[in-house]
Structure 1
Amino acid sequence: MGKIPENTDELTDFILDDVLYGLELDPVDSERLLSYMRERHEHLFGPHSTYFVLGSYEPPFKYRLDEALDVLNYRHDAYAYLLATQPDLHVSDDIPALKVKFFLHALYADAIPLILEHNTGGAVAEFGRIERPTLLCRTYLFPRSLEEHYEDKSVLTTEDAIFARAIELAYHADNLDERLTTLAEHAGTHELDISKSDLDSHLDAELNRRRPSYSGVITDSLLHLESLNQCFSWATTAELEEQLSNVP
């Protein structure tokens, strides 16, 4: 389907054809689906702007989702939310309830910000789902350190810039330990008391001891959205908050 379903018949057809791929909804499940929509009507179709925020629920990545919710909910007449906070959809066991619930919310959100920090988990599955034409035009990707903004040593004169560069190196450098050692030495030349151990601890806290990466398939899609002006890279939480201003 190339457009958002405008009535219950179109919605049912979309769920059957584009989500369930041939699975049938019995009359009870159809009624439960429509009841769910009626119960969420004010939330999904109210006069406010709705932001369906996607990303990893693992700590510490969930912290960035919470920050995004705070930023977006601070807007006038806005409601930003996570899928996990919405009521469950109760249907038969052979129906993928979480998948259907996802599309019900994605179809009617005004914008879908997706915060991406690594190559695995539910956020990657969500990334695949939102590439459908029906959703893509309202999707805004926020990948961490897709680009390197702190390569220029002339800007590496503050603690924030040093730690931001460490995050970028974690995503891009093959010889990470060596590069972090050099970065710590550079910090010392600017009288910043930051050791290699401090940088390692910062990466552990920010990235959950994970060596982050994006597969070629993901980076190809990110570049596509970047060309559509719907992809905005960031290294620090402060930069993420600033980049969220690109969500209308």
Structure 2
Amino acid sequence: MSDPSPPPDAADVMTLVHEAVGGLELDPGEKRGIWRFVQRELPYLWSQRTSYFILGSYRDPYVRRLRSVQNELAKRLGAYPFLMGDLWELPTDRLNAFDITFTLLATYSDYIVGVFEKDSGGEAPELGEIDDPPYFDKLYVFPRDYTWVTDTNLTSRHHVIQAAVAIAFTDALTDDEKREEIASLVDRARGADVDITEQDVWATVRDRESDGSEPATYSWVHLNKFRKFELHDRCFPWTTEEELRTAVSKLPSPTPRPAWERREEPR
């Protein structure tokens, strides 16, 4: 196999790589591996397609939700949604391949989509990498069961369901007490003009019980980062997988849409 040649913007790529490895000098074999990765994967990000770099846990069942997000985005004409785990692995024993690959993908992707269901694992350091420039403006976060800790108002179905799930899974209450607490919660929510019923709440609780997933919990650091994106209208909490798929529709769509798609149907 012939050695890969540097791309036209090799200088920009190498600047990013050197930042990712802390300025270490690369040997010829490492450079060849980086050029091969660039030739294989970055053309998809440099194309006219709109790229979505999807982050989250690759462990089951979390990875199934990442695939669900990927499938939803793939329905968009001109979209290229991808997980880093599906791409060619950078061959290096000495360097941190993750740092290099992550930096290149996050830099050249149009949007970064973070799906969070817990405060540990691979997605934890990723959140710390991308909540500041130069990645902040392209990042959208989708944290499961998130509600800002100081928000005590029942202002939406999500707030009510998140609170109800927390009540249903606590060990501090009996079953009767849980039913009473949730009934009271729904009454207060309906009094605040939230369109929800006890049946809606318990349906979600039963779904969570059937798939064995307890409410997601996050550290104070995670909650503050989610709040930062919430204040910028780029945080979309969810409770069920259906809600996650619906929330994904809030992401920016590929632009511009083709002329034939923008034409109105004849009346």
When the two structures are superposed, what TM-score results if normalisation uses the length of structure 2? 0.72
Cα distance in 2, alignment partners of residues 216 and 114 from structure 1: 18
5+ residue gaps, structure 1, are 1-5
Q: What is the number of residues matched between the two proteins?
A: 232
Look up the match of 1:54: 55
Cα distance in 2, alignment partners of residues 239 and 50 from structure 1: 22
Among residues 223, 235, 240, which one is paired with 2:239 in the alignment? Answer: 235
Look up the match of 1:104: 104
For the structure 1 residues 181 and 135, does the alpha-carbon distance in structure 2 shift closer, same or farther, using more than 3 Å as the test?
A: same
Q: Give the drift of 1:203.
A: 3.5
Look up the match of 1:85: 86
When the two structures are superposed, what TM-score results if normalisation uses the length of structure 1? 0.77
For the structure 1 residues 11 and 175, does the alpha-carbon distance in structure 2 shift closer, same or farther, using more than 3 Å as the test?
A: farther
Q: Give the drift of 1:113.
A: 0.6
For the structure 1 residues 165 and 211, does the alpha-carbon distance in structure 2 shift closer, same or farther, using more than 3 Å as the test?
A: closer
Determine what percentage of the aligned residue pairs are the same residue.
Answer: 26
Q: Give the drift of 1:204.
A: 6.3
Q: Give the drift of 1:167.
A: 3.6
Q: Give the drift of 1:142.
A: 0.6
Cα distance in 2, alignment partners of residues 162 and 137 from structure 1: 30
* Residue identity matched to 1:243: A
Q: Give the drift of 1:166.
A: 4.5
* Residue identity matched to 2:218: Y
Q: Deviations over 1:75-97 (max 9, x none)?
A: 11111111111111112x11011
The 3-state SS of whatever aligns with 2:135 is helix
Contact conserved, 1:119 with 1:213, CA < 8 A, in 2?
yes
Cα distance in 2, alignment partners of residues 79 and 177 from structure 1: 48
Look up the match of 1:35: 36
Verify: 1:202 aligned to 2:216, yes or no.
Answer: no
Cα distance in 1, alignment partners of residues 68 and 131 from structure 2: 24
Contact conserved, 2:118 with 2:218, CA < 8 A, in 1?
yes
Look up the match of 1:3: none
Cα distance in 2, alignment partners of residues 14 and 129 from structure 1: 14
For the structure 1 residues 75 and 191, does the alpha-carbon distance in structure 2 shift closer, same or farther, using more than 3 Å as the test?
A: closer
For the structure 1 residues 211 and 237, does the alpha-carbon distance in structure 2 shift closer, same or farther, using more than 3 Å as the test?
A: closer
For the structure 1 residues 219 and 13, does the alpha-carbon distance in structure 2 shift closer, same or farther, using more than 3 Å as the test?
A: same
Look up the match of 2:13: 11
Q: Compute the RMSD of aligned alpha carbons.
A: 3.7
Q: Deviations over 1:44-98 (max 9, x none)?
A: 211111111111112221121111011100011111111111111112x110112
Look up the match of 2:222: 218
The 3-state SS of whatever aligns with 2:80 is strand
